[in-house]
Amino acid sequence: MANTIPLRSKINKKFTWNAESVFKSAKEWEAEVSAILAELPNVKKFEGRLSESADVLLEGMRAVEALANRTYKIFMYAGFSYSVDTTNQKSAALFGKAQGVAGQVSGALSFVNPELIAMGKTKLDEWMKGNDKLAVYAHGFEDLFRQQAHVRSGEVEELLGMVGDPFGGAQNSSSMLVNADFKFAPAKDKKGKKVEITQGNMHTSLMESPDRKVRQSAFESYMDKHLEFRNTLAANLNTSIKNNIFNMRARKFDTSLQASLFGLNIPESVFHNLINTFKKNLPVWHRYFELRRKALGLRDVTYYDMWAPIVKSKPKVPFNKAVDMISESLAPLGKDYVDVLRQGCLKDRWVDIYPNKGKQNGAFSWGVAPDTHPFIMMSYTDEVGSMSTLAHELGHSMHSYLTGQNQPRVYNNYSLFVAEVASNFNQAMMRGHLLKTVKDKNLLIALIEEAVGHNFFRYFFQMPTLARFELETHQRVERGEALTADSLQELMADLFAEGFGPKVKVDRPRVGMIWSTFSHLFSDYYVYSYATGISGAHALAGRILRGEPNAAKDYLGFLKSGSSLYPLEVLKKAGVDLSSPKPVEETFAVMESYIDRLEELVG
């Protein structure tokens, strides 16, 4: 286990993201920022004129779209630069500037929806019939009028657009505190040797260490630093939730859950189906936790034991080998899909691969901006878990790539609700292939550990638990109740204690701060979509693995659809209905089959 993490400047360029393919330099980025701000008056000239004619409307929509795409590109570049090295003050300044520009652009473009609504759907339908180029916006117009009751006047919309930047302050404050300012006391192994803790290695090599002393001391040090700043962290989350409630009320929704799901046309029953099905299946998790305790030979199992390796010798999977194994697993999707994926990983530098000091915790894929390909940030450690993370993020990237290749720019995106389907699909396909073809017992155990103890534990245990936490905290603020560091800590500890069951030892003060390690909570009602995503993914992968007719074609159709349909509709076309609890139940059945296999392998 490496005890030191290199500085960003020491990472070989070939292992970093291809930043220069987006902007050749920060100077070029600055020039584009200036050009975007200079373009604002040219777009604002369409304000009050969209109803003049179909041609003027089309010209205005294209101008708005082009400016939004350019803004996304500068935001992506700055955000990614900051994420790979949060200690770099120049990158932090770029990101802050990009957020400010995005707020200005959002405010400048806010006139569009109120004017379209004032024109009326009848007039727009008539114009689209006579103008094929305008007709491409049909789904967007339809969705706008669906949301009509919650679109405010042009003046109010402009203000709501402008508050986006300052409303991001709570998240920025927490990110800078946790990722850049926190310095953790080193962990210690069973021999007393110190091991450095960073955001990059905490959730990989440290929590996955076979040395329980390393896991315990790392967990305690990591969470104690969060406890030290619990009041600040709680205040930031409370501010973010109040921002959500403000937007809910400004747009005249009854609840924050309704406000969040309404935008994607998702009924609240989808959220509640997930939570209810999760609670019903908690005994499946309790069975796994007990199996883990026995396999590890422990008297009691704790939070920091959830990632401990059951295998005696961790299989090594270097980056290039992982790309090969992932590619083989995805062969049913066709040569074109696999070739693009391989080139992105091995030639075009889609992936910022290895850990470095200041690198943000976790992994993500940033979607396609105009004239770019997708990018992935991660901290690869040559282990099965890293291979699975790579497969996951490549699912996002290929979703972005195929959407970009097949949709006009107006639909060249997709919602968070469907995003986690594509990522978890890749992991489900990888396991389906490798569990049938691999003979090495250690690798089989590691694959199942990764599946249940990492992917499922995060998506099908932690995320539903956080979703319950999120719902309760929002409801408390909606009722006018105060959120304090104590109340957040108690609520989180209670929910994890219920989820873990009676045989897992819960360190309530530290486990009660787990919420502060998930930046996802600053995107309201996002975490639940991880669990619906993994459910949709296994339902769709199951169709292909069972050899159902047209299953691969249907799935590729889903990847190519972008936001041209509502999320539930595009998934139904691909073969899964997430308005029903059935996919969640099916995924618990898949998880049980993994537990059965693990029991056989470990005796």
227-240 pLDDT, tens digit per residue, is 999 999 999 999 99
Average pLDDT, the chain: 93
Q: Tell how many helices (H) and how many strands (E) occur in the chain.
A: 28, 7
Assess whether pLDDT exceeds 80 at residue 131: yes
What whole-number distance in Å separates Cα of residue 226 and Cα of residue 234?
A: 10
Cβ atoms of residues 150 and 253 within 8 Å: yes
- How many alpha carbons lie under 13 Å from residue 197 in its C-beta half-sphere? 28
Tell me, what's the pLDDT at 85?
A: 94
* Range from 74-88, 149-163, 317-331, 481-495 carrying the lowest mean pLDDT: 149-163
- 229-243+253-316+408-603: which CATH topology? Neurolysin; domain 3 (1.10.1370)
What whole-number distance in Å separates Cα of residue 18 and Cα of residue 561?
A: 27
Q: What is the pLDDT of residues 462-513, one digit of tens each?
A: 999 999 999 999 999 999 999 999 999 999 999 999 999 999 999 999 999 9
What is the pLDDT averaged over residues 543-559?
A: 97
Partnered with residue 365 across adjacent β-strands are: 376
What is the pLDDT averaged over residues 326-334?
A: 98
312: CB partners within 8 A, 6+ apart: 442
Cβ atoms of residues 172 and 78 within 8 Å: no
Q: What is the CATH number of domain 8-167?
A: 1.20.140.70
Tell me, what's the pLDDT at 4?
A: 77
Tell me, what's the pLDDT at 301?
A: 96
Assess whether pLDDT exceeds 70 at residue 2: no
Tell me, what's the pLDDT at 193?
A: 95
DSSP sequence for 382-433: SBHHHHHHHHHHHHHHHHHHHHHHHS-GGG----HHHHHHHHHHHHHHHHHH
Cβ atoms of residues 88 and 8 within 8 Å: yes
Catalytic residues: 393
Partnered with residue 352 across adjacent β-strands are: 377
Tell me, what's the pLDDT at 157?
A: 80
- Model confidence band, residue 179 (pLDDT cutoffs 50, 70, 90): confident
Supply the pTM of this predicted model. Answer: 0.85
Domain map (residue ranges) of the chain? 8-167, 229-243+253-316+408-603
Report which of residues 559 and 4 the model is more confident about.
559
State the pairing for strand pair 364-366/504-505. unpaired
Helix residue ranges per DSSP H, 407-527: 416-437, 441-448, 463-478, 485-500, 508-511
